[in-house]
Structure 1
Amino acid sequence: MRLTPFLLAAALAAPAARANESTYTDRDLDACKTLSQEAEGGSVSLQCAGYKDLAVYFKEGDLRQSQAYGPISKAWLDEAFESFGHFNHTNAKIEWRLAADGRPVATIVRWFVSDPETTSDTETRYGQVLVVSTVATVENPTSCVVGYVDALENREANALARKVADDEAHDFACGMAEPQWHGARGRLAGEPMRHLPPAVE
């Protein structure tokens, strides 16, 4: 079938839909601003540089770490903590998923989760989990985990995590919706733990 000149011109003029893209930043804990710190238990809360003017909020307590992104509310800053039950730490590199208008809608960070069945630091094995989180906005000042991908059990783990970010982060309701595992999940992935402030409807 041949297009009429009018339809052909319209087809050529219509812009192609642009898929989400990624950009990357590296979190530098030594350059972060300390918001609070407690000697007992070794807990700390930091504000770090992120993408453009968006901050990364890093917390650590009892050898477990948590991160949130963008302009979160004071309640979220003070009370939110999403991590894993086993000792863990995060990779410094943060992948930001950008919508067609260039606005960050999600982050992807690799978590290293210790295997509780090992008996010493020199023998500890780690699971690796890609954690997909929302990015807070002024209108919605909450940032939370959207989903998990076991990076050791899924061959295309990064692509799967990006799909979760693109499909689910934009309308995920923090404090009301529950993050889910996507793809295969192995024993070393660990068990997530979370504490969030009450959801504001």
Structure 2
Amino acid sequence: MISHARTISLILLLALAPAARANDSTYTDLDTDHCKTLSQEDAEGGGISLQCKGLTGYAVYFKEGDLRQSILYGPASEAYIDGAFESFEPFNHIGRKIEWRLGLDGKPAATILRWFVENIDPATGEPSPKVEGQVLVVSKVAGQDGMGCVVGYVDALANPEPNVLARQIADTKAAGFACGADKADFHGNRGPTSAEPTHVFPE
């Protein structure tokens, strides 16, 4: 028979034992003024491709063309660095704070980044802050296959806790997502300013 004192000791040990570690986040700032230029198009096109600092061992690849931007994370293949471009139909630009979602092994599996979508105001025919969209874009960090891509979207203006929803997508969708084959969808509520995504992948 287990003594009363021993029972209390076992309860205390179980209470003090660490719980299973859940996925966690860490953050980096994207500073495009201090990146390595990979390629630059003519001034008229305004296109540029940069390799920027991310987490240790995980670069961030930034592209801009025709006033639209695209991001790729981690050890991506040359084919994806050169040929992938995921953005939105309207002119757009990204935020500067990258949230990295870490797996149970402590390695980054996905990222969350806010996009600002410059929708056209029907009254003026020009982009306007009144109709600007904000979308949290959840992306898979490239792995050994060199492929990284967007896995899901959250309309940051149409959902009460968009960051919480984006983290759920990152933790449940990124690992098994097949870039170029699976479709990245919007999750939660979607409002009129979220805009249509665009996807270009290397052949």
TM-score strictly above 0.5:
yes
Counterpart in 2 of 1:133?
139
Matched, 1:111 2:104: no
- The aligned runs of 1:146-165 (5 Å cut-off) are 146-165=151-170
Q: Determine the C-alpha separation between the residues in 2 that align with 1:15 and 1:123.
A: 47
Amino acid at match of 1:130: L
Q: TM-score, normalised by structure 1?
A: 0.89
Quick check: 2:118–2:129 contact (8 Å CA) kept in 1?
A: no
Counterpart in 2 of 1:191?
196
Matched, 1:143 2:148: yes
Please state how far the C-alpha of 1:116 moved relative to its aligned partner. 1.6
Q: Secondary structure at the match of 1:65?
A: strand
Quick check: 1:148–1:180 contact (8 Å CA) kept in 2?
A: yes
Please state how far the C-alpha of 1:126 moved relative to its aligned partner. 1.1
Please state how far the C-alpha of 1:8 moved relative to its aligned partner. 7.1
Counterpart in 2 of 1:31?
34
Please state how far the C-alpha of 1:63 moved relative to its aligned partner. 0.3
- The aligned runs of 1:3-82 (5 Å cut-off) are 16-39=19-42, 40-82=44-86
Structure 1 unmatched runs, 5+: none
Kindly provide the CA deviation profile for residues 58-90 of structure 1, in whole angstroms up to 9, marking residues without a partner as x.
000000000000010011011100000000000
Q: Secondary structure at the match of 2:48?
A: strand
Amino acid at match of 1:66: S
Q: Determine the C-alpha separation between the residues in 2 that align with 1:158 and 1:52.
A: 24
Amino acid at match of 1:27: L
Distance 1:171 1:9, change over 3 A: farther
Q: Secondary structure at the match of 2:193?
A: helix
Question: Larger Rg: 1 or 2?
Answer: 2
Moved more, 86-95 or 8-17: 8-17
Quick check: 2:60–2:74 contact (8 Å CA) kept in 1?
A: yes
Amino acid at match of 1:133: S
Please state how far the C-alpha of 1:197 moved relative to its aligned partner. 1.6
Counterpart in 2 of 1:181?
186
Q: Figure out how many residues of one structure are paired with residues of the other and give that number.
A: 195
Counterpart in 1 of 2:4?
none
Quick check: 1:114–1:124 contact (8 Å CA) kept in 2?
A: no
Counterpart in 2 of 1:92?
96
Q: Determine the C-alpha separation between the residues in 1 that align with 2:61 and 2:22.
A: 28
Q: TM-score, normalised by structure 2?
A: 0.88
Q: Determine the C-alpha separation between the residues in 2 that align with 1:166 and 1:158.
A: 12
Counterpart in 1 of 2:3?
none
